[in-house]
């Protein structure tokens, strides 16, 4: 009898305890949010170091959690029919033959380009170093498009380094920790990429919209009217942040409201990416 009375007493008082607890959690969350905002305004460098430390601490945990998902992806990608494999082999042979032809043309153009550089003493271009790394997870939200990759300061990564995948440009590094780094995707609303439209031989800028599509900017109406769906958009190389010629996407629509570009990003099929670091070589001799 006493046990029943105790259980009823606890059940009857537990809702009364739940109300102040929920209020405390609400006000505590609001207070923590204001504290983080003020901290970011008053001491941004300190907050950035704290984020980097938290990123380095939590990344191994997230990596461990994401491993079963990686195994599922590997298993799913390995299940293919014999007919699909035959078609893929045939397509790879065709691409290989095409690449052989392009390599021959490239060697001819490269030799002529080098001869002209030596003749005109043209300034050496940016050189790029590619490092392959693995995607840990994709913690993007409705307000940011980003992903986490292995590698950081120990591997020579730096903020601003470009990140590419098999299909083309993915984004750039915005946070670099000791062992892990965060990539801002080209679809992020803060992303800006100088591009070159191959079919019309014009430069422009594409900006992220936190959506699937990219917005093309700094292109006048006359040039816009000459654009067509399917026109290929690549990096222009202006500014030296991105190597020139990296595929970005294709023109998806042209209207009075503007031009939308469909990027080549396929995150669902990605497991590894390449981080591209740029540097300009030192001149070999002084000008006279």
| Phi, psi (deg, nearest 5) at residue 249 | 175, -165
> Taking Cα atoms as reference points, which of 222, 242, 246 lies closest to residue 232?
246
The per-residue pLDDT for range 132-174, each reduced to its tens digit, is: 999 887 655 554 578 899 999 988 899 989 999 888 899 999 9
Predicted local distance difference test score (pLDDT) of residue 136? 86
Predicted local distance difference test score (pLDDT) of residue 248? 94
Rounded Cα–Cα distance for residues 179 and 288 (Å): 45
Predicted local distance difference test score (pLDDT) of residue 67? 64
The per-residue b/e assignment along 178-187, b for 16 or more CB within 10 angstroms, e otherwise, is: ebbbbbbbbb
Positions in the chain whose pLDDT score sits under 70: 1-22, 24, 58, 61-81, 117-118, 120-127, 138-144, 278-288
Quote the tokens at residue 80: 């293919």
Task: State the sign of the Cα–Cα–Cα–Cα dihedral 80, 85, 86, 87.
Answer: positive
H or E stretch at 37: helix 2-42
- Taking the whole predicted model, whether its pTM rises above 0.75 is answered as no
């Amino acid at each position: 009898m006493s046990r029943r009375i105790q259980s009823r007493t606890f059940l009857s008082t537990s809702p009364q305890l739940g109300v102040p607890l929920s209020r405390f959690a609400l006000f505590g969350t609001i207070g923590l949010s204001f504290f983080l905002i003020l901290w970011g305004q008053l001491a941004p460098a300190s907050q950035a170091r704290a984020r980097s430390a938290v990123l380095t601490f939590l990344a191994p945990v997230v990596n461990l959690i994401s491993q079963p998902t990686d195994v599922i992806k590997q298993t799913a990608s390995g299940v293919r029919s014999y007919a699909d494999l035959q078609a893929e082999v045939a397509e790879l042979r065709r691409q290989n033959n095409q690449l052989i032809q392009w390599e021959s043309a490239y060697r001819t153009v490269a030799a002529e380009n080098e001869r002209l550089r030596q003749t005109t003493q043209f300034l050496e271009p940016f050189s790029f170093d590619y490092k392959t790394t693995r995607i840990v997870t994709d913690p993007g939200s409705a307000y940011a498009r980003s992903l986490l990759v292995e590698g950081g300061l120990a591997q020579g990564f730096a903020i601003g380094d470009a990140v590419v995948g098999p299909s083309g440009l993915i984004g750039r590094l915005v946070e670099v920790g000791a062992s892990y780094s965060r990539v801002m995707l080209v679809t992020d609303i803060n992303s800006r990429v100088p591009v070159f439209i191959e079919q019309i031989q014009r430069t422009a800028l594409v900006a992220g919209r936190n959506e699937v599509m990219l917005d093309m900017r700094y292109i006048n109406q006359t040039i816009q009217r000459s654009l067509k769906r399917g026109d290929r958009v690549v990096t222009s190389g202006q500014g030296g942040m991105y190597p020139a010629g990296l595929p970005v996407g294709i023109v998806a629509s042209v209207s009075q409201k503007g031009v939308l570009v469909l990027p080549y990003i396929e995150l669902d099929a990605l497991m590894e990416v390449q981080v591209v670091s740029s540097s300009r070589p030192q001149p070999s001799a002084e000008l006279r």
